[in-house]
């Protein structure tokens, strides 16, 4: 778990002048790897690396060089992440090809696999990763991101070369070197206010993009990345006939999870686990306890009724027999920390839950260097209550198309807050039109009110259509899961997980997002995902003997944040001050924003999520565009070993 910076220049002379710029880019992401830094300059390439040492601490320094016996040092690699099956893969490479390794880590395994298998090596990796491999002989750069997008990789291309990094702020440091000038992307702003995140491959700066999850690429000096998708995330629900088939499926889920957690526990440092009040983190912690009897778990919450899982998490920790650490968060702490957190984010993500996540990650780093967490279970096993929507809207499917459209128009005439308005609106839409993920912040008519330059031709379907096109023959629930894997999961869930933990030099591992777990999860039929009583039915049945009874059928909460209440009271004046100080008039109608804040305060409507999205954008703009807000970024001072 680290931070990489790579610069591929058109010729050798450009590379010779670029090394200092790479050093500056490394300093921007020192929190990702405070243990050591390293740089290397090749012919047309400059590599830089910040390391957080987890496996093979005394060796496996990066940039790392490897080559076969007759071509020593042919390859140079930068690798951010962990490969959990590296021991098995090393053994395979040694037996089949006689591969020789100089370290005991997983980095060499990647480059050796690439040498022997070519780009197909990516499909053999079981882990989270973003890496760059420079082949000195062929003068080709090869890179990839893991199937689900757990680890990030940004890039920008210009006449002076192509810059890559684990963080966008480092790429921005290199834009002058490669000869491009970043500007705010208005389309990305509109997508952000709709979705609460900027969808891949975009960023809020027009010249900076992201290598998408589940893809690999090649690049030759003077060119641009040629990208190929190696992981399509195909769902293949299987037929289940009777109790014996069901029980066999549940056993396979249990076995896959147990094996995944076991491999995710591989480390030369202490591994802990996040623990909320839900089943996802609880089953991960319970299985981790089997490998570390002294496991420490961590949770966060708020001292407000209905907005804390502290008590439930503590009960779970006691039931599975682990030491438990709690870090409550106040409204004032959230307000004080938000500018710094936004700096770590690179692009705005309007998910309030990322703030308490930052606090608990900071607390966990005092005790451990690695934590496990339960991200991905909802997308793989059908955990969101909105996945029930196709059932509740089924009667509308029988209504002729023209009449459905008329119903949609009628819904626009119903006043806000009137029960049934949104049901009628959504019932008038097809699945592709209405579902674009778990967060629906601003609707089109609301965007028109706050955006100075609303573009009616920009739609959430620009983001979701490719994924719907690949799932035309699937059932509605599975189609929603598929869309979430490529939008909500990698745009929100995994961004906040990576950014908030790495901000504290803490490695987060997600055992649910494992190719072998997905191989079983994608076979679960819809009738075993959702029932009338619960979500994630198959998962709950599979782990019923592992998690405590009080958690097994408990409603999902996650890390709920009471911003609905706080923006009326403790946070109101703070929010208004940010609006007045912000220089975002080019994008936002600030009078409309202030009106929304006052409507929320008076109780006319719950605008809390919309207000939060606007505030996070304004703070982001104040940092990365105006330069008005300058967070005090702490220097990471953690020891190498924990």
Label residue 603 left, alpha or beta by phi (over 0 means left) and psi (-120 to 50 means alpha): left
- Within 13 Å of residue 72, how many CA atoms lie on the same side as its CB? 4
- Stated as kind and residue range, the H or E segment containing 115 is helix 107-117
- Helix, strand or coil for residue 165? strand
Q: Which residues are annotated as a binding site for L-glutamine?
A: 106
Is the link from the previous residue into 63 a cis peptide, with omega within 30 of 0? yes
What is the Cα–Cα distance from 261 to 374, expressed in whole angstroms? 11
β-pairing verdict for 154-158 and 127-135: unpaired
Q: Could you tell me which residues are beta bridge partners of residue 145?
A: 130
Give the single-character DSSP code of 535.
Answer: S
User: Token pair of 539, please?
Assistant: 């998962």
Residue closest to 562 by CA, chosen among 496, 608, 604, 607: 608
Helix ranges, 533-640 (H): 537-542, 549-552, 563-566, 572-581, 590-602, 608-624
Taking a C-beta distance cutoff of 8 angstroms, is the pair 145, 227 a contact?
Answer: no
Q: Which two tokens stand for residue 410?
A: 């009628």
- Name the binding residues: 106, 373-374
CA-to-CA distance for 446 and 450, rounded, in angstroms?
Answer: 7
- By the 8 A CB rule, do 312 and 550 touch? yes
Which parts are annotated binding residues for ATP?
A: 373-374
Q: Is 589 left (phi over 0), alpha (psi -120 to 50) or beta?
A: beta
Active site residues: 2
DSSP annotation of 492 reads I
Token pair 């009897």 is found at 293
- Give the contacts of 609 (CB within 8 A, at least 6 positions apart): 196, 350, 439, 441, 563
């Amino acid at each position: 778990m680290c931070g990489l910076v790579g610069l591929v220049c058109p010729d050798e002379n450009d590379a010779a002048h670029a090394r200092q710029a790479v050093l500056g880019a490394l300093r921007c992401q020192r929190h990702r790897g405070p243990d050591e830094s390293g740089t290397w300059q090749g012919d047309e390439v400059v590599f830089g690396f910040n390391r957080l040492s987890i496996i093979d601490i005394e060796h496996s320094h990066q940039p790392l060089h490897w080559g076969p016996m007759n071509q020593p040092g042919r390859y140079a690699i930068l690798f951010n992440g962990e490969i959990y099956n590296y021991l098995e893969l090393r053994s395979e490479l040694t037996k089949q090809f006689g591969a020789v390794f100089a370290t005991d880590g997983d980095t060499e395994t990647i480059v050796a696999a690439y040498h022997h298998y070519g780009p197909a090596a990516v499909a053999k990796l079981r882990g989270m990763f973003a890496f760059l491999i420079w082949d000195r002989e062929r003068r080709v750069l090869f890179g990839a991101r893991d199937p689900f997008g757990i680890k990030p990789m940004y890039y920008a291309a210009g006449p002076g070369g192509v810059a890559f990094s684990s963080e966008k702020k480092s790429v921005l440091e290199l834009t002058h070197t490669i000869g491009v000038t970043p500007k705010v992307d208005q389309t990305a702003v509109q997508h952000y206010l709709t979705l609460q995140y900027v969808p891949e491959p975009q960023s809020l700066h027009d010249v900076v993009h992201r290598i998408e999850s589940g893809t690999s690429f090649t690049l030759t000096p003077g060119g641009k990345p040629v990208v190929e998708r190696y992981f399509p995330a195909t769902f293949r629900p299987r037929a289940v006939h009777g109790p014996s088939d069901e029980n066999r499926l549940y056993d396979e889920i249990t076995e896959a999870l147990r094996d995944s957690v076991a491999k995710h526990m591989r480390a030369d440092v202490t591994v802990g686990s996040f623990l909320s009040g839900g089943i996802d983190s609880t089953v991960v912690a319970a299985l981790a306890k089997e490998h570390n009897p002294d496991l420490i778990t961590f949770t966060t919450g708020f001292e407000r009724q209905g907005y804390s899982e502290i008590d439930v998490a503590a009960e779970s920790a006691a039931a599975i027999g682990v030491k438990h650490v709690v870090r409550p968060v106040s409204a004032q702490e959230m307000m004080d920390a938000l500018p710094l957190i936004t700096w770590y984010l690179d692009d705005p993500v309007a998910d309030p839950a990322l703030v308490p996540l930052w606090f608990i990650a900071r607390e966990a780093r005092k005790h451990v260097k690695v934590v496990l967490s339960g991200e991905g279970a909802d997308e793989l096993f059908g955990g969101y209550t909105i996945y029930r929507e196709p059932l509740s809207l089924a009667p509308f499917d029988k209504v002729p198309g023209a009449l459905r459209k008329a119903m949609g128009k009628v819904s626009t005439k119903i006043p806000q807050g009137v029960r049934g308005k949104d049901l009628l609106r959504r019932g008038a839409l097809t699945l592709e039109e209405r579902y674009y993920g778990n967060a629906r912040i601003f609707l089109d008519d609301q965007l028109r009110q706050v955006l100075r330059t609303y573009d009616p031709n920009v739609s959430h379907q620009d983001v979701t259509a490719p994924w719907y096109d690949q799932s035309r023959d699937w059932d509605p629930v599975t189609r929603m899961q598929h869309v979430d894997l490529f939008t909500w999961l990698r745009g929100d869930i995994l961004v906040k997980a990576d950014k908030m933990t790495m901000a504290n030099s803490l490695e987060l591992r997600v055992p649910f997002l494992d190719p072998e777990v997905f191989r079983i999860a994608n076979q679960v039929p819809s009738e075993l995902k959702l029932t009338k009583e619960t979500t994630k039915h198959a998962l709950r049945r599979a782990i019923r003997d592992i998690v405590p009874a009080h958690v097994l059928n408990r409603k999902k909460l996650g890390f709920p944040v009471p911003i609905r209440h706080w923006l009326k009271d403790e946070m109101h004046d703070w929010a208004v001050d940010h609006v007045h100080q912000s220089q975002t008039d080019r994008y936002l109608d600030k009078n409309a924003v202030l009106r929304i804040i006052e409507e929320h305060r008076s109780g006319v409507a719950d605008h809390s999520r919309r207000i939060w999205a606007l505030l996070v954008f304004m703070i982001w703009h104040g940092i990365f565009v105006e330069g008005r807000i300058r967070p005090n970024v702490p220097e990471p001072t953690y020891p190498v070993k924990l």
